[in-house]
Amino acid sequence: MNRFLSNLFARRFQCNTKNNLHTSGQDFAWTKSILPKSFIQNNQKIYPPQEIGENPRPAFICHQKTNIKYSHEKLWYIACFVRGMTVDEAVKQLSFVNKKGASFVKETILEAQDLAVKQHNVEFKSNLWIAESFSGKGVHIKGIRRHARARLGEVRYQYSHYFVRLEEGKPPEDYFKRNPLTAKQQLENWLEGMRKRKIINSF
Amino acid sequence: MISRVHHLKNIIKNVEKNILQIFGLPPRELALAYTYEKRLPEPKKFSIKDIVGDGILLAVPKFRRTVEKRLKRKFGSPEYTWKMLVPKTNIIVCNSCGHYHERGHLCAHCYKKVEAETKEIQDKIQQKLGNQKPIENDVIVLYNGESLPDQPKEFWRGKRIIEMKKDRPQWFSKNLLEKTTQQPSESKDVKPTDLA
């Protein structure tokens, strides 16, 4: 009886506060935040059972962090940095990146890793790699500043979102297709350079 | 006929003259045809152009940014400043705690421990020796179950002793507080507790 009553009241309370705060439809800039939904809905997609000979579809986890007080252009650099890395490597590297966005991205990846194990049936939390990682623009709240000679400038307080998709398994060898030269190739190149040298004014 | 007109005119003139005289006004001969008044400068109409000048339409793009310029701005150049983040290859594992740190830098996790302990010692020193004068003498820190080494009395002159009410941390060997100016000892009888 107690639990029934508490549930009843909790539902009403939910309608008022946290869940609907940002979609309450008031006409202020700061209440206009419409949170991105389509990326995270990929998690709910149910695939038909696979054929017998088909390659097993790896598990994936879509996660996002919204309304980060940071510029989305700057966040893009960090999102790019992390693509194609294993989760452990990404977290390790991000700890040594001197940017504000690095801490947000690191938190998001750790949360996603946690969700993967708890909700998405991933066996080993280290067996994950970052398949997709990108930033999006949130609300920009405008302000005014003064310049010399009666001129005004616009100040933008920028918010951004960060999206990440973890996939189970080993990452591809060369995600960005940089094709780095192997040690053997590098040695050959160096040798060739050395052999091309000429003693000037000689035969 | 004309002289009569003149005569009439003169009469009217005289009447006017007399009337003016009665009222104490000056004669008409002294009247000015035109009074020169000092003309005040017109209040200057305020327009934004006075302050801004012709710069009101200054900041406008003249040409389309080429794709090369856009890419250069976004990625930089490998020869100058490469804007993309590059993974660091100098991150190694700390042997004592297992956390990561850069090669050539102290492990942050281990350092935090040392920092906390140092703060404790410093607080104890402040507590005991006070803030009145700067502490110019050596401070010897003793932990639980430690005693002062056997030294002649001159050694102890001017040295302050702080007793920490806790066990010595494992990583805090006595070697760490040894002065670099101290000469290596020749003695062969060293107590086990005094070994670093």
E strands along B13-127, which residues?
91-93, 100-102
Whether residues A17 and A81 fall in one domain: no
- Alpha-helix residue ranges (DSSP H) falling in A18-99: 72-82, 87-94
Nearest CA in chain B to A98: B85
Q: Is the pLDDT of residue A4 over 70?
A: no
Q: Out of A96, A149, A151, name the one closest to residue B91 (CB).
A: A96
CA distance B117 to chain A (A): 25
Q: Are residues A66 and A21 in the same domain?
A: no
Out of A84-88, B46-50, B166-170, pick the least confident: B46-50
CB atoms within 10 A of CB A138: 21
Name the minimum distance, in Å, from the CA of A130 to any CA of chain B.
Answer: 15
pLDDT at A15: 43
DSSP 8-state code for residue B76:
B
Q: What is the mean pLDDT of the segment spanning A84-102?
A: 98
Specify the pLDDT at position A200: 92
Q: Are residues A116 and A20 in the same domain?
A: no
Model confidence at A24: pLDDT above 70? no
Report the amino acid identity of residue B19.
I
8 Å CB contact of B52 and A150: yes
Contact B84 A78 (CB under 8 A): no
Domain match, A169 and A114 both: yes
Q: Note whether A29 and A64 are same-domain residues.
A: no
- Do A90 and A166 reside in the same domain of the chain? yes
**pLDDT-based confidence at residue B10 (cuts at 50, 70, 90):** very high
Domain that holds residue A4: 1-34
Q: Which residue of A has its CA nearest to B100?
A: A92
Q: What's the total number of domains in chain A? A: 2
Q: What confidence tens digit (pLDDT) does each residue in B132-142 have?
A: 777 777 888 88
pLDDT value at A20 more than 60 = no
> Residues near A129 by Cβ (< 8 Å), separated by ≥ 6?
A84, A85, A86, A87, A166, A167, A169, A170, A171
Tell me the pLDDT band of A18, cut-offs 50, 70 and 90: very low
- Is the pLDDT at A10 greater than 70? The verdict is no
Instruction: Using DSSP, state whether A110 is helix, strand or coil.
Output: helix
Give whole-number Cα distances, A121 to A30, A41, A116, A168, B178, in Å: 38, 17, 7, 10, 56
Lowest mean pLDDT among B67-76, B83-92, B181-190: B181-190
Question: Going along B86-149, which residue ranges are E strands?
Answer: 91-93, 100-102, 139-142
Amino acid at B163: E
- A chain contacts of residue B53, beta-carbon cutoff 8 Å: 149
Closest to A157 measured CA to CA, from A178, A135, A137: A137
The interface predicted TM-score (ipTM) is 0.79
pLDDT of B190 above 90: no
Mean pLDDT of B76-102: 97
More confident residue, A94 or B156: A94
Confidence of residue A147 (pLDDT cuts 50, 70, 90): very high
B48 vs A contacts (CB less than 8 Å): 150
Task: Quick: pLDDT tens for B90-131.
Answer: 999 999 999 999 999 999 999 999 999 999 998 998 888 777
Let me know whether A23 and A96 are in one domain: no
Residue A95 is nearest to which of B48, B51, B100, comparing CB atoms? B100
Cβ neighbours of residue A47 closer than 8 Å, sequence gap 6 or more: A57
| CATH for A186 | 3.90.470.10
A–B CB contacts, 8 A cutoff, strictly below: 30
Task: Give the model's pLDDT for residue B90.
Answer: 97
pLDDT of A9 above 60: no
Q: Cα–Cα distance between A24 and B142 in angstroms, integer?
A: 64
Is it the case that residue B170 has pLDDT exceeding 80?
yes
Q: How far apart are the first and last CA of chain B?
A: 147
Q: Is A9 part of any domain?
A: yes
For the segment A131-152, the average pLDDT, to the nearest whole number, is 95
- Relative to beta strand B160-163, strand B139-142 is parallel
Q: What is the residue type of A132? A: E
CB-nearest to B87 from A77, A93, A151 is A93
Q: Distance (Å) from the C-alpha of residue A119 to the closest C-alpha of chain B?
A: 28
How close is the nearest chain A Cα to the Cα of B74, in Å? 9
Burial, A161: exposed, middle or buried (Cβ in 10 Å; 0-12, 13-18, 19+)?
buried
Nearest residue in chain B measured CA to CA from A85: B87
A174 CA: distance to closest CA in chain B (Å): 14
Instruction: Evaluate whether residue A48 is within a structural domain.
Output: no
Identify from B58, B85, B91, B94 which residue to disrupt to test chain A contact, counting A C-beta atoms within 10 A and taking the largest count.
Answer: B85
Query: A26-58, pLDDT tens digit by residue?
Result: 566 666 558 999 999 999 999 999 999 999 999
- A83 and A170 fall within a common domain: yes
pLDDT for the residue A29: 64
Asked, for residue A14, whether it belongs to a domain, the answer is yes
Q: What is the mean pLDDT of chain A?
A: 89
Report the gap between the CA of A76 and the closest CA in chain B (Å).
10
Looking at the structure, tell me whether residues A19 and A111 fall in a common domain: no
Domain ranges of chain B: 1-38, 100-176
Asked, for residue A51, whether it belongs to a domain, the answer is no
pLDDT for A88 beyond 50: yes
Record: contact A81-B102, CB cut-off 8 A = no
> Using one digit for the tens of pLDDT, what is the confidence trace for B17-34?
999 888 888 887 887 777
Interface of B with A (CB under 8 A): 48, 51-53, 55, 83-85, 87-88, 91, 100, 102
Whether residue A43 lies inside any domain: the answer is no
**Residue A58's pLDDT is what?**
96
> Within a domain: residue A46?
no
Yes or no, beta carbons of B91 and A149 under 8 Å apart: no
What average pLDDT score do residues A109-123 get? Answer: 97
